[in-house]
Each structure stands twice: as structure tokens, then as C-alpha cells.
Amino acid sequence: MSEDLEQLASEYKVVVRDLMKVYRRGLKEVIALRGIDFEVRASEFISIVGPSGSGKSTLLKMIGALDRPTAGLVLFEGFNVTQLDDVRAMEYRRNKVGFVWQVGNLVPGLTALKNVMLPMRLAGKKKSEAESRARELLQRMGLSDRMRHRPHQLSGGENQRVAICVALANSPELLLADEVTGELDTETTDHVMEALREVNRDLGTTIINVTHNPRVASYAGRVLRIRDGLIEGQRHTLFGDISEVDAKGRLVIPESVRRLAGIRKRVVLRVVPEGLLVAPLESVGENNNDDASDAEGHG
């Protein structure tokens, strides 16, 4: 990588670079993220839109330090959150990040007010302070007359607005929203997305919102598209796709990776400081034919 990460980190709140995630279930491998690059400015509101299975939830989990990537990094204010130990990761999640999911943010037995107070109480805030902030947040979300209601007594849209208050309770700098309107009708969706837009505008909270719905995505100031674990329209330095080399030196390069790298029947192998460069023959010019090796994989 030739770019200056320090420079980038000083310009952006969040920098994501070459982020990869491979899930393994037994022998089966799923490459959920294939090398994601993007950055988000402080107080920006961005959406990432893509079909189901494209890697959106996985990406948010990596940014929120809920799981570790296979490779790559996420810088938050210049700190690589993918390498925090468990205690620091928990502190980061508690103090810097707020999460809103499609469902299930709220404790069923607690009123809206108590739900919003809970994360503040867990963070050690005094009861009176927690209560006054919770009231303020619920008022901001237009829920003044719903504070004493429990989740089952509230509509889907009201529940999601309470969930946004819960996420904002400890004044996070970054709000991560995953399909927050997935279960809502069109009109309620608009209310919830308007609420997010107000949070961004009035409180300056940086928001990363992921959704499969382009209309929902359009509430953000900027929209990125994700597909098959890659952001559309970006050039990717693919690295880290894990593959075994057998006793005869055969390497299996998955079809999707070959397609991305423009590799067909013949490749050129070159030893470089990072290891081995496997380049499509077409891209290295005619005078390099001597180096050409047939590294086509089988199986």
C-alpha cells in the first residue's frame, strides 16, 4: 500500500481498507467481504446499499468491533479497531458506537424510558442524569407521550425510534444502522429515516446505514453500492483470499477471484517482496513470455 494512512486518518473519521472476511463452516468457506475500501468524514451520513447476502451486516460488524476481519483494517479516529483486545473493543462499542438493528434492540419488559436509561446506567451514569437524558432523547424523537409504554404497546416505527434513542444514549460519535426499516411500511419508514437525518444534522453524529432498499439509502448524503463483498466502481487490491498449495505446487484460485483479477488460462508468476505475484499473462507484455507458467488450478 503506497497511500499515506496517517494522512487519511487525519482527514476522515472512519477509514476502511482492504477489508476481508472469510467465514468457515466445517469445510465450507464463504468469502463475505473481498477487499472493501471507503472512508467516512466526521458528521457524514452515508448509506451502503446492496442485495441480501452482499456483505452489509458483516461489514457493520467489523466497523463496530463485534467481530474480527480475516484481513484489512478499520481506522476510527486513526485507531485500528480490528486489533483491539476484548476489553478495549467493549469500551469502543460502549463509548464510541451506537447500533440500531432491524429488530430486537429493546428489552421487552422495560418501558421506553427504562430502555433508553439502561445503557447509561450500565456505563455508570447517575439515575437522575440518565433519566433526564432519556426524556430529552425520547422527546426529540417525538415520543413524549410514549415514555411509559413497553415495546409490545408501541408500533413498529415507534419501537425503532426508541431503539435509536437507546443507541444514542451514551452520545456515540458513530451510529451503525442495519436495515432499521426492514420491517416497516413505507410511511413509517419515512418517519424513521427522517429521524436519523435529524440526528445527523442536529447532533452531528456520523452515520453508516446499510439497507437493500435504494429508497431508504437515498436519505443519506452519499450512497455506496455493495455487491458480492465488494464496493462497486472501486479498484481493488485483492489480497488474502485463502487457498492451499498442494505437494505439486498447485494452487486453486476461485473462479470469482480469477474473474476479478482478469486471470484466464495462463498467468505470470513473479516473486515480489510481499510474496508471489500471480498476474494475468495479457497484462505483463510480450517480452515476459519466458516467465510464463501454467498455474491453472484443478478442483
Rule CB under 6 A: say whether 34 interacts with ligand ADP.
no
What residue 30 binds from Mg ion, ligand ADP, none (CB within 5 to 8 A, per partner kind)? Answer: ligand ADP
CB of 128 to ligand ADP, least distance (A): 40
Measured CA to CA, the distance from residue 107 to residue 151 in angstroms comes to 8
Q: Which of residues 2-31 bind ligand ADP (CB under 6 A)?
A: 23, 25, 30
Rule CB under 5 A: say whether 102 interacts with Mg ion.
no
Provide the pairing of β-strand 97-100 with 206-211: unpaired
The phi-psi region of residue 137 (left if phi > 0; otherwise alpha if psi is between -120 and 50; otherwise beta) is alpha
- Residue 280's CB: how many other CB atoms inside 10 A? 15
Rule CB under 6 A: say whether 240 interacts with ligand ADP.
no
Query: In degrees to the nearest 10, what's the CA dihedral of 252, 242, 63, 207?
Result: -10
Rule CB under 5 A: say whether 80 interacts with Mg ion.
no
Closest to 21 (Cα-Cα) out of 91, 71, 57: 71
Query: Is residue 13 within 8 Å of 40, Cβ to Cβ?
Result: yes
Choose, by CB under 6 A, the member of 17, 34, 56, 146 that binds ligand ADP: 56
* Helix residue ranges per DSSP H, the chain: 5-11, 56-63, 86-95, 112-122, 127-140, 156-168, 186-198, 214-217, 255-261
The Cα-based distances of 24 to 1, 63, 76, 252 in angstroms read 27, 20, 27, 17
Give the binding-site size for ligand ADP (rule: CB under 6 A): 12
Choose, by CB under 6 A, the member of 57, 80, 102, 213 that binds ligand ADP: 57
CB-wise, 65 or 137, nearer to ligand ADP?
65
Choose, by CB under 6 A, the member of 35, 55, 69, 151 that binds ligand ADP: 55
Question: Identity (one letter) of the amino acid at 16?
Answer: V
CB of 46 to ligand ADP, least distance (A): 16
Instruction: Determine the interface stretch with ligand ADP among 1-9, 46-54, 108-116, 119-127 (rule: CB under 6 A).
Output: 46-54
Instruction: Determine the interface stretch with ligand ADP among 51-59, 238-246, 250-258, 259-267 (rule: CB under 6 A).
Output: 51-59
CB-wise, 56 or 114, nearer to Mg ion?
56
Contacting positions for Mg ion (CB under 5 A): 56-57
Contacting positions for ligand ADP (CB under 6 A): 23, 25, 30, 32, 50, 52-58
